[in-house]
Amino acid sequence: MKRIIAVLNQKGGVGKTTTAVNLAAYLAKAGHSVLVVDSDPQANATSGLGFDKSSLNLTLYDVLFSKAPKHKVIQKHKIDGLELLPANRHLAGAEVELVDHPRREFLLKELLSDLNYDFIIIDSPPSLGLLTVNSLAAATDVIIPVQAEYYALEGLGQLLSVYQQVRQAINPDLNLLGVITTLYDSRNSLSEQVRLELAKHFGDKLFTTVVPRSVRLAEAPSFGKTIDEHDPLSKGAEAYKSLANELQERLL
Ligand SMILES: Nc1ncnc2c1ncn2[C@@H]1O[C@H](COP(=O)(O)OP(=O)(O)OP(=O)(O)O)[C@@H](O)[C@H]1O
Ligand SMILES: [Mg+2]
């Protein structure tokens, strides 16, 4: 059951990193070996998992462009079974350096091809540039977080069209594993309207799990903690545990 899951949406701040990090944590806690690949120059997954991005000597950038050995770059997390291929701001240069590379869409796929994990979760930047195309080329599956707010559906058409283009041109087996509703506010009727709209659009691709807007989820990364480490009994923790379960059921 080896899966490489790209978490993506070119819209910023929709919960990609929060989803990638906490889903990875709960898959690891369920007994799987899991690697988080931070493919965003903002390096939020790296800091959110408790690593100091400014003190890292080697990151994904060095594996992609200077042949740094993966085992020297991959970091072990406190949670058993969870590891991280970290990023820092150097990765911003990758978009430019990739342009002239002969295999520019496939560097991440090649890098991940000989790694042995049950799950590799790729956190993608908020753009549809070459780093995101590399995520889509390397992935077996895609998860799209969508925030339950106004304008949420805007841009989804463009995202799905890039997904289809990648399927046609370079990765025909790529699977849309699911769409997850994030930042859901039960006191705001708009949240429910957006969720219903997503259900209409995506049918059973929409995960039944809904991630609530939650202060505990928002503050966890400031402590470099996953929600399970920060507040395992919170609603946000419950949601991501449930998402991890739903995902495992879909992959059975
Ligand atoms: N369910 C939630 N409830 C409250 N705050 C949340 C929730 N999910 C994410 N956040 C917060 O919202 C902000 C954006 O979330 P996150 O970084 O996960 O989004 P992103 O899509 O990865 O953003 P970017 O596009 O910049 O990479 C962060 O400050 C995060 O802590
Ligand atoms: Mg992010």
Tens-place pLDDT, residues 140-189: 999 999 999 888 888 899 999 999 999 999 999 999 999 999 999 999 99
Q: Whose CA is nearest to atom 9 of ligand 1?
A: 15
pLDDT greater than 90 at residue 218: yes
Tell me the pTM: 0.97
> Buried b / exposed e across 135-146, counting CB within 10 Å, b at 16+?
bbbbbbbbbbbb
Q: 115 C-alpha to center of ligand 1: Å?
A: 28
**pLDDT confidence of residue 252:** 85
**pLDDT confidence of residue 131:** 96
- Tell me the average pLDDT across 102-110: 95
Q: Whose CA is nearest to atom 5 of ligand 1?
A: 218
Report the C-alpha gap between 42 and 150 in whole angstroms.
Answer: 25
> Buried b / exposed e across 198-212, counting CB within 10 Å, b at 16+?
beeebeeebbebbbb
95 token code pair: 């978009």
pLDDT greater than 70 at residue 100: yes
Report the C-alpha gap between 125 and 40 in whole angstroms.
Answer: 4
Q: 142 C-alpha to center of ligand 2: Å?
A: 15
CATH class (in words) of the domain with range 3-250? alpha beta
Ion ligand 2: residues, Cβ under 5 Å = 16-17, 44
Please state the domain extents for the chain.
3-250
**pLDDT confidence of residue 81:** 98
Report the C-alpha gap between 134 and 39 in whole angstroms.
Answer: 9
Report the C-alpha gap between 205 and 208 in whole angstroms.
Answer: 9
Q: Which helix (H) or strand (E) holds 217?
A: helix 215-219
